[in-house]
Structure 1
Amino acid sequence: MLNNKQPAGGKLLISEPFMFDPNFKRSVVYLTEHNEEGSVGFVLNQKTELLICDIIEDLEDCQFPVYIGGPVGNDSLHYLHSIGDSIEGSVHIRDGIYWGGNFEVIKILLENNKLRDDEVKFFIGYSGWGEGQLIGELNENAWLVADANADLVFGEFDKKLWSEAIKSLGSKYAPLVNFPENPRLN
């Protein structure tokens, strides 16, 4: 394993530089759940052309972008937020980052311009791993595990997020940022 940190809810999974899976190529996943039954997370840096108002009909002129959370459940909408327990049913993951909750409250906040784009991030689908699958991928060096923070989760890095997350691991990992996406083209 490239680093010895273990995955847990509230951690980042950073794909290794040569991952060919198009769902996770140069991706950063915020892990919301990791236990013996499996793992769930959301890709933070695969922004779509859609806005939340394109998906939710009764939200007009709401300019929040929607991201592809992963290849599983592409007919579902999920969200991470930093609003806290004011959203009934939300799950506190770590360090002021929450998952889900009563969507009607989110809609009211959006309609009344009470949410900023650095407080909520919307996803179509999610990333999921079955029992032992993520540990197997970690043992194959497919992912690096890093600490997450609200700036990385809710920031507007998009294309740069992967390199920023790699750099957050320290100087030992910084050279990975310069690796070509396809080593055969080097």
Structure 2
Amino acid sequence: MNGDALTGQLLVAAPTLRGSTFERAVVLMLSHDDDGALGVVVNKPTEVRVGDVLPGWVPVVSEPGVVFQGGPVSLDSALGLVTVAGDDEPLGIRRVKGRLGVVDLDTPAEIVEPAVSAMRVFAGYAGWAPEQLEGEIDEGSWYVVDSEATDAFTSDADDLWESVLRRQRGLLALVSRFPADPSLN
């Protein structure tokens, strides 16, 4: 397997994941290698304001200024995802792919702020053991698609599942019309 095969890609939950933690989830993959995979669900905002848990980061985070539920693993931990504004390697930021990076939330926010153009904070993450994710993809639980720079920072996170699928070609575009509750169809 390529050491970063899915890094930077999106996993879009298939409609068959209905009723699960990942129902209509869009996961941005932050790492994928022989040791497993890690990503964050980018379309599940919570009601918790960033200022309630990380007040120093309020001036840096993008609207809506809430913590997102990044996944079911380590919900008591926080992860900062950023878009790096320039080509430099800013202090406290580890690039994931292109301009996308993960910020060390122990770094003072005022050092990071000038280097980023967007930021989100996630509680928890999605993680898979070696070959677990590949099995889930093979069984049809996930669609793997290219990400766009704004996906993780969209102001319309609630409609991201539908909009990501709608921009795909062929049958995936049709899946975007799958009703949230098929029993109402």
For residue 180 of structure 1, report the CA deviation from its aligned partner. 2.2
Question: Does the aligned pair in 2 maintain the 1:13–1:144 contact within 8 Å?
Answer: yes
Partner of 1:101: 104
The answer to whether residue 159 in structure 2 is matched with residue 173 in structure 1 is: no
5+ residue gaps in structure 1?
A: 1-5
For residue 45 of structure 1, report the CA deviation from its aligned partner. 0.4
Letter matched to residue 66 of structure 1: V
Correspondence 1:3-14 to 2 at 5 A: 8-14=6-12
Question: Does the aligned pair in 1 maintain the 2:79–2:105 contact within 8 Å?
Answer: no
Letter matched to residue 43 of structure 1: V
CA distance in 2: counterparts of 1:38 and 1:171, whole angstroms: 30
Question: Does the aligned pair in 2 maintain the 1:82–1:119 contact within 8 Å?
Answer: yes
For residue 70 of structure 1, report the CA deviation from its aligned partner. 0.2
Question: Does the aligned pair in 1 maintain the 2:31–2:39 contact within 8 Å?
Answer: yes
Partner of 2:28: 30
CA distance in 1: counterparts of 2:124 and 2:137, whole angstroms: 22
CA distance in 1: counterparts of 2:96 and 2:114, whole angstroms: 22
Question: Does the aligned pair in 2 maintain the 1:95–1:149 contact within 8 Å?
Answer: no
Under a length normalisation based on structure 1, what TM-score does the superposition of the two structures give? 0.83
Letter matched to residue 145 of structure 1: V
For residue 13 of structure 1, report the CA deviation from its aligned partner. 0.2
CA distance in 2: counterparts of 1:14 and 1:80, whole angstroms: 19
Letter matched to residue 110 of structure 2: I
5+ residue gaps in structure 2?
A: none
* Percent identity over paired residues: 28
Query: RMSD of aligned C-alpha atoms?
Result: 2.6
Question: Does the aligned pair in 1 maintain the 2:14–2:140 contact within 8 Å?
Answer: yes
Under a length normalisation based on structure 2, what TM-score does the superposition of the two structures give? 0.83
CA distance in 2: counterparts of 1:164 and 1:152, whole angstroms: 10
Question: C-alpha deviations, 1:95-126, integer Å up to 9, x for none?
Answer: 21011235323x2268xx7588x611110000
Give structure 1 regions of 4+ aligned residues with deviation exceeding 4 angstroms. 57-63, 113-116
The answer to whether residue 117 in structure 2 is matched with residue 130 in structure 1 is: no
Question: Does the aligned pair in 1 maintain the 2:80–2:105 contact within 8 Å?
Answer: no
Distance 1:27 1:172, change over 3 A: same
CA distance in 1: counterparts of 2:168 and 2:106, whole angstroms: 34
Correspondence 1:108-147 to 2 at 5 A: 108=110, 119-147=118-146
Q: Which moved more, 1:165-174 or 1:55-64?
A: 55-64
**Count of residues paired in the alignment:** 177
CA distance in 2: counterparts of 1:129 and 1:149, whole angstroms: 23
Distance 1:185 1:18, change over 3 A: farther
Question: Does the aligned pair in 2 maintain the 1:18–1:181 contact within 8 Å?
Answer: no
For residue 179 of structure 1, report the CA deviation from its aligned partner. 1.4
For residue 60 of structure 1, report the CA deviation from its aligned partner. 6.7
